[in-house]
């Protein structure tokens, strides 16, 4: 699983043309401890979509801490348990999920 340094490198790798305006990277890193690179990629994708909601401007998409935190809240929401499992978003201390309950 990515450590803090790997987290930073992966986010930069996945950012593409996004403009990242992150002031609270450390708290985001702490909240995403134990997730996979695929989870981080999905987190950034969701944050970009959240950033685009209500934004009618042109130019690059700007993603902030607030966008990433909102995306993380969505991904960690109980209704997204199957997504977390598939993307490796569970923490080591989490118990094995019931995939039948998550899919229903």
Residue 81 pLDDT: 72
Q: Which residues does the chain have with pLDDT short of 70?
A: 54, 56-57, 78-80, 82-84, 86-104
pTM of the model: 0.73
Give Cβ neighbours of residue 50 (< 8 Å, ≥ 6 apart): 67, 70, 71
Residue 47 pLDDT: 95
Residue 9 pLDDT: 93
DSSP 75-97: HHSGGGHHHHHHHT---TTSPPP
Residue 103 pLDDT: 44
- Rounded CA separation 73/55 (Å): 20
Domain annotation for the chain: domains and CATH numbers? 4-103 (1.10.8.60)
- Rounded CA separation 48/102 (Å): 25
């Amino acid at each position: 699983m990515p450590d803090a340094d790997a987290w930073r490198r992966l986010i930069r790798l996945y950012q593409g043309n996004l403009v990242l305006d992150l002031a609270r990277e450390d708290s985001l890193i702490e909240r995403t401890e134990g997730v996979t690179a695929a989870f981080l990629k999905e987190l950034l994708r969701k944050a970009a979509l959240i950033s685009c909601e209500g934004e009618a401007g042109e130019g690059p998409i700007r993603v902030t801490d607030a966008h990433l935190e909102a995306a993380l809240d969505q991904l960690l929401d109980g209704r997204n348990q199957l997504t977390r499992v598939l993307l490796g978003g569970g923490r080591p201390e989490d118990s094995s999920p019931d995939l039948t309950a998550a899919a229903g």
